[in-house]
Structure 1
């Protein structure tokens, strides 16, 4: 058995322990803070417009700066995480968005705030890539999907948390200090976690992929001793695995993502996340606008949107329960088809009750897919040596598409109406489902080493 498969098998046979929960919360809190900082933009911009600091054009620049930062951060995380280590990448990204977020609180004008928001975005984009991909390397194959989906659930608690804190802090501290406090809260939380995560171990799988077998063995031996002491057991010896020599034993340049078997996975991963980001933006962002254009009052629109969005946490929760029970590949295909069909049925409704019921169901299935795509499936696709670059590239492409999506949605809605938007979206999701069905691979309860056996 080569060292890479040996390390993987040793990790996969570990029983669930306090050590796993410690890793879970150290990464999960990072994703929660990341989500909080990402969500506070909309809350802050509304106040800045009211203060006379900003307008629609400056708001657009603020949003574009954030998106550009997220795009750059995803790529940065990939290269730094694969070349310098998972620990280096997730500590640096926390430091970047922690410092930049605090600095944003002291911005003296909107231009300065926009620039600092772009820097914050780099850290925010990196955290998502590093968090899910790193966690994938630490958990057992048989429960990897459930763990990653639960991690996604923690991250998806950020929107209501940001809204709740905003509702309390903004009025309490006033129009000039409230929005600054929001940035300080996110930044201080990030830096506090940065200090706590100094004791976070490097991924043994990454050490082996970089040829540092002794370091990998030392870390994993300490983890095994900790778990044996907690459980009062002696861990069984690792069974021999008949795996081909790991591709991780070879250097894999970034260009490997565009050749051979890895090219198929790059196309697969990009398609999965393009479908996710396009659907997520198109549906969640435009729901209130569609309501208002349909003659529903703004107040009622907000109430209906709130009720519909309760489907998001429920969808992610359901995903945590079923993600390891169904084949990953066909789960993704099924969810995309359901979202496409529900989207059309939802768009042609006129009854407000049915709009809420179908909208709730649509959001529920959409967030099940979000959990499947970003937290579970895409991070599993890659060899350890290139995992973060693969995930980072796909996340960047998926986010890059959302730069143009608003213009496409606006044009279709203006010229053809909201039903046409959902028909077009359904066509795109159907195409992504076809790609997954055609070139998708099955990863359910397989070791990361086994998933990458076909890459030669």
Structure 2
């Protein structure tokens, strides 16, 4: 029996160690599919909007909106919704559990996306872009918390990176879907873009049905006084894996003693993150600002660059973005294992620095007029191969370097703060710069993004935590564990 209660309110358990010592199994694939596939929807959303901007601004689209409003205002509202949603849902995730919230936030996303599809006015489109982001923002906190708490320590880095990188599978789908949606020989101007949003809602419904079978985090249950439920969940997982392997699992080698609490106050969370873990807070903020500015700015502006500078037809931009999206996905896929073997510090800093330096090189070539639509796409593939792994590692970092009780709120805060700084200002600035049609303005946007990525890489080289293959409780001891041990000391 792994759970004992030496005195009321205090529990000693091997549940975290039991989860970390599990071998990879079909059950873990169920978690990856049930939780990770939502990033595909996010990628679909962001890419579709970027690629259909030109079509939405054309007469007959059904909306009185300009391309700049789509790539600027609507994009910024989507990100603003994601930031506010992350903070709102993140706090509730730490208080009421991972499963409750990742079901609710997906439902919010589903409804908002479906209502975007029936937009009849600019204000309606803006409103439901905001609410779609509001649902997605909550997903970041709830999903990354659940993934890290359910995936064994040995695999946590690569799994987290690949799941966050699956955003780009959605981007591939969004790019190809936009090619069909923008083809007026197949669909009318005022119908194609609506069907792309409707498809996102249908996919969300399918994921919602799969997600019902994902359990609550046993770590969260244990801390919140539901140790018997946590025991049942872990025992059920172990039985499934033992049946699959045909042999018993090894005994867990460590236990943790905690004083259970129903909730942790916001003031204690803030004090823990920004006082006790000050350097880690600087690290998280730096990583999020760098990746958010680069990705949000370029994602929403790449189609405009192709059409304005290289005369690529609006309906063909999806092909180019598909190539870039594939490069993005292969970054975390091929480099992910190295984050668990070579280590977090080396890999995080090198992926940020390499992507920044390659972006500077792209800006130089673009300024000289040495690039075509095809070669610019190739340059972006090289930049984003490394940047994608680095960006995914930002989510991994803030989800594992703070105590259990603050995890979802920490993810939400750094996502919201970093994305607000880079993700809201980025699209607005980048839309203004690319819309001028001047090469120098676009080069400046590239250079700003490159500078922030390189700066974040330097911070990671100095401050990144060696979290590879370590349990979450070892990386950052739960607040409840610290309190219990303090009481037990004479």
Give 2:34's aligned residue.
26
2:42 pairs with 1:42: no
> C-alpha deviations, 1:404-435, integer Å up to 9, x for none?
23455557997965554444444333332333
Q: What are the Cα deviations for residues 33-55 of structure 1, in whole angstroms up to 9, with x where unaligned? A: 23323433234543332225132
Comparing 356-365 with 69-78, which one deviates more in the overlay? 356-365
2:451 pairs with 1:430: no
TM-score between both structures, scaled by the size of structure 1:
0.88
1:364 maps onto 2:405 in alignment: no
| Cα gap change, 1:309 to 1:85, in 2 (>3 Å) | closer
Farther-moved stretch of structure 1 (170-179 vs 87-96): 170-179
Q: What's the TM-score, normalizing by structure 2?
A: 0.82
RMSD of the TM alignment (CA)?
3.1
- Which whole-Å CA distance do the structure 2 matches of 1:134 and 1:378 have between them? 13
Moved more, 169-178 or 393-402: 169-178
Give per-residue Cα distances to partners, 1:311-347, cap 9 Å, x unaligned. Answer: 2222232223422222102211122222222222222
| Distance in 1 (alpha carbons) for counterparts of 2:401 and 2:248 | 32
Q: Does the CA-based 8 Å contact 1:39-1:162 persist in structure 2? A: yes
1:82-135, Cα deviation, whole Å (9 max, x unpaired) = 111100110001111112222233333232222222222211222233222211
The residue matched to 1:235 in structure 2 has which SS?
Answer: coil
Correspondent of 1:386 among 391, 394, 406: 406
SS in structure 2 at match of 1:371: helix
Q: SS at the partner of 1:199?
A: coil
- Greater shift after overlay, 206-215 or 309-318? 309-318
- Tell me, which stretches of 5 or more residues in structure 1 are unaligned? none
2:291 and 2:233 mapped to 1: Cα distance? 36
Deviating more after overlay: 27-36 vs 228-237: 27-36
SS of the counterpart of 2:24? Answer: coil
- Does residue 347 of structure 1 match 2:363? yes
Task: Tell me if the contact between 1:28 and 1:155 (Cα under 8 Å) persists in the aligned partners.
Answer: no
SS of the equivalent of 1:334 reads helix
Contact 2:50–2:300 under 8 Å retained in 1:
no
| Cα offset, 1:391, TM superposition | 0.2
* Aligned partner of residue 254 in structure 2, secondary structure: coil
Gaps of 5+ in 2: 3-9, 483-490
| Corresponding residue for residue 73 of structure 1 | 85
Matches within 5 A, 1:117-136: 117-136=129-148
Q: CA offsets, 1:140-190, max 9 Å, x none?
A: 101111211221343320011122233335543422332222222111221
Summarize the alignment of residues 285-434 of structure 1 with structure 2, pairs less than 5 Å apart.
285-286=300-301, 296-298=310-312, 307=323, 310-349=326-365, 350=368, 351-352=370-371, 357-374=378-395, 376-401=396-421, 402-406=423-427, 408=429, 410=432, 417-434=441-458
Say whether the 8 Å CA contact 1:80–1:88 is kept in structure 2. Answer: no
Q: Is 2:173 the partner of 1:161?
A: yes
Task: Describe the shift of the 1:89–1:395 C-alpha distance in structure 2 as closer, same or farther (beyond 3 A).
Answer: same
1:113 matches 2:125 = yes
1:221 aligns with 2:235: yes
The question of whether the paired residues in 1 share the 8 Å contact of 2:90 and 2:409 is answered with yes
Q: Give the 3 Å change call, closer, same or farther, for CA 278–246 of structure 1 in structure 2.
A: farther
Shift of the 80–396 alpha-carbon distance from structure 1 to 2, 3 Å rule, reads same
Tell me how far apart the structure 1 counterparts of residues 138 and 442 of structure 2 sit (CA, whole Å): 34
Give the structure 2 partner of residue 177 of structure 1. Answer: 191
Match of 1:270 in 2: 285
Task: Supply the distance in 1 between the matched residues of 2:440 and 2:279 (Cα, whole angstroms).
Answer: 35
SS of structure 1 residue aligned to 2:353: helix
Offset of residue 400 of structure 1: 0.5
Q: Distance in 2 between matches of 1:445 and 1:390?
A: 21
Is the 2:225–2:262 Cα contact (8 Å) retained in structure 1?
no
Please state whether the residue corresponding to 1:55 is helix, strand or coil: coil
Q: Look up the SS of the partner of 2:190 in the other structure.
A: coil
State which drifts further: 345-354 or 203-212. 345-354
Aligned partners of 1:70 and 1:121 also within 8 Å: yes
- Of 13, 17, 26, which aligns to 2:21? 13
Partners of 1:141 and 1:203 in 2: CA distance: 15
